[in-house]
């Protein structure tokens, strides 16, 4: 993974074309980059982010931030009930229990 200005780039290597190619993960907008060497790839990643941010300024738009801090999780009714009971036993909200569990897992 590449990191730059708060953005994360996921990279893959195409052995048929001998090119590294990647995509920025932190936005719904499509931002891609590629290079034949690691240094070329890093430079293309940074340039793509800079171009994206410049494009947003030119259009007077805020860069996309797809992570609002909210997401829906589908559970079985049994797991939902057990999680709710566990949260109540610990004097927490269900949301707090889920956040703490994710923090421990990740």
Least confident of 25-29, 41-45, 59-63: 25-29
Do the domain assignments include residue 65?
A: no
What are the phi and psi torsion angles at 67 (to 5°)? -100, 100
Q: What is the structure's pLDDT at 66?
A: 67
Flag whether pLDDT at 65 surpasses 80.
no
Q: Which residues have CB under 8 Å from 35's CB, separation 6+?
A: 19, 20, 41, 42, 43, 44
Claim to verify: residue 79 and residue 53 sit in the same structural domain: no
- Give the pLDDT score at 105: 96
Are residues 53 and 93 located together in one domain of the fold?
A: no
**What confidence tier does 60 reach under pLDDT thresholds 50, 70, 90?**
very high
Could you give the percent of the chain with pLDDT greater than 70? 99
**Residues 45 and 16 grouped into a single domain:** yes
- Segment 22-32, tens digit of pLDDT: 999 988 899 99
Closest C-alpha to 45, from 4, 13, 74, 75: 4
Both 49 and 91 in one domain: the answer is no
Do 18 and 49 sit in the same domain of this protein?
yes
- Domain identity same for 77 and 54: no
Same domain, yes or no: 76 and 35: no
Q: Whole-angstrom Cα distance, residue 83 to residue 29?
A: 35
In which element (H, E) is residue 72 found? none
Question: Over 90: is that where the pLDDT of 55 sits?
Answer: yes
Judgement on whether residues 54 and 7 belong to the same structural domain of the protein: yes
State the total domains in the chain.
2
Residues 6+ apart with CB under 8 A from 38: 20
Supply the range of the domain harboring residue 20.
2-58
């Amino acid at each position: 993974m590449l990191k730059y200005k708060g953005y994360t780039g996921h990279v893959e290597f195409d052995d048929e074309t001998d090119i590294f190619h990647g995509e920025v993960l932190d936005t719904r907008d499509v931002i891609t980059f590629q290079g034949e060497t690691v240094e070329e790839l890093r430079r293309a990643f940074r340039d793509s982010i800079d171009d994206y941010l410049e494009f947003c300024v030119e259009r007077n738009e805020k860069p996309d931030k797809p992570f609002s801090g909210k997401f829906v999780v589908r559970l079985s009714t049994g797991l939902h009930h057990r999680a709710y009971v566990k949260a109540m036993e610990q004097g927490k909200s269900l949301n707090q229990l889920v956040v703490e569990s994710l923090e421990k897992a990740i």
